[in-house]
Amino acid sequence: MEKAPRITRRTLRKHLEEVTEIAWEHDAEEAYRIVKEKWEIGSSRSFRDFLNKEHITTYQRTAASHRDDKGVEEKEVRNYRVKERKTPDGRIQLTGSEDAEQEKVVCWAKLMSNAYPDLELLYHVPNGGSRNKAEASKLRRMGVRAGVPDLVLPVPRAGYAGLYIELKVGENRPSNSQKDWLEKLTIQGYQALVCYGGNEAIRALQQYITASKTALVKQNED
């Protein structure tokens, strides 16, 4: 039987989307085994280094320190610095900061845009961050509004005009202005969600982008 050619990191990047999907479904050890069977690669350590460099996260199922009525929860183990956080509804998650979680979501959307080109329209509304008083005042005059959700996908699906996501981690809750925006966007026909951690946001995006397209009705001008 002909031996598969040895695959380098550069070549592995050509299979980045497939590697990412494998990593998302398995922990690092199992993902390495699967990838090694598909392509001859180096050590598991070099594979982990590749995942870290490409900001690809792997998962593992482990006993959670918090138990609820559903029993043992599933923890998310990430390849970047994380800490255990409890969400307002009592779930335990291992997540990075909101910035790190959002970067992961955007990275996933870029990788998956080959399969779902409309994901290229996903963008971030940069309302947060530290700004001095003069800059904040200038941005308000230019139209920056407090409370606008973090991520926007202006693509009509599942009967909605588009998708808005407010991303949170840990016990962070939406502010009053954020709740107000989410409510108003919902009234206007958008799906407006609060997602805790990158996983929830990605699942929401995946469910939304794979739904049937919303039929837009163009009214005839008089």
Predicted TM-score of the model (pTM): 0.60
Could you state, in order of their start, the residue ranges of all structural domains in the chain? 9-93, 96-209
Radius of gyration, CA atoms only, the chain: 20
CATH topology of domain 96-209: Trna Endonuclease; Chain: A, domain 1 (3.40.1350)
Tell me what pLDDT residue 191 has.
Answer: 97
Measured distance CA(23)–CA(205) in Å, rounded: 18
3-state secondary structure of 69: coil
Where b means 16+ CB within 10 Å and e means fewer, 3-22 reads eeeebeeeebeeeeeebbeb
Give the pair of three-digit tokens for residue 150. Answer: 């973090």
218 CB-contact burial (10 Å; exposed 0-12 / middle 13-18 / buried 19+): exposed
Nearest C-alpha neighbor of 8 from the set 41, 49, 48: 41
Tell me what pLDDT residue 54 has.
Answer: 64
Measured distance CA(32)–CA(88) in Å, rounded: 35
For 138-178, what is each residue's pLDDT tens digit? Answer: 777 887 788 899 999 999 999 999 999 999 988 888 889 99
Nearest C-alpha neighbor of 51 from the set 72, 63, 34: 34
Tell me what pLDDT residue 88 has.
Answer: 82
Residue 62: C-alpha distances to residues 29, 59, 68, 72, 74 (Å): 14, 10, 15, 8, 6
Tell me what pLDDT residue 56 has.
Answer: 65
Tell me what pLDDT residue 151 has.
Answer: 96
Q: Which residues of the chain have pLDDT under 50?
A: 1-5, 59-80
